Amino acid sequence: MTEPNSTATPRLVPKGKLRYDKVRETDMLLLPERVVELNTSSAAILRLCDGTRTTAEIIAQLEHDFDTTGLADDVLGFLRDARERGWVVTV
């Protein structure tokens, strides 16, 4: 696995699933033996981590979707944390 950078291709860990909980009205990350409640930005990032996009492409898509710029440091930091927590892998 590589450290998240602009050319890395992050994806959810194989046993990770994203689900929307209608009762709680929030996105959830389902992992073996744990459930993580996600905020809007975390869910948006993880939805794009499908192994087909580079981190740079994910950042560009998020900046487009949220009509903003300058998200690179936040996204890279989140992906670094997500990798350390076992939520994503990068190649």
Q: Is the dihedral of CA 72, 27, 53, 89 positive or negative?
A: positive
pLDDT of 1 strictly over 90:
no
User: Domain 10-81 in CATH: superfamily?
Assistant: Coenzyme PQQ synthesis protein D (PqqD) (1.10.10.1150)
Q: What is the pLDDT of residues 2-26, one digit of tens each?
A: 566 778 999 999 999 999 999 999 9
* pTM, to two decimals: 0.91
Residue with tokens 């710029």: 69
Q: Is 72 left (phi over 0), alpha (psi -120 to 50) or beta?
A: alpha
The per-residue pLDDT for 5 is 76
What ranges do the domains of the chain cover? 10-81
Give 22-74 pLDDT, tens digit per residue.
999 999 999 999 999 999 999 999 999 999 999 999 999 999 999 999 999 99
Higher pLDDT, 76 or 6: 76
10-12/26-31 β-pairing:
unpaired
**What is the C-alpha to C-alpha distance for residues 53 and 57, in angstroms, rounded to an integer?**
6
91 confidence band (pLDDT: 50, 70, 90): confident
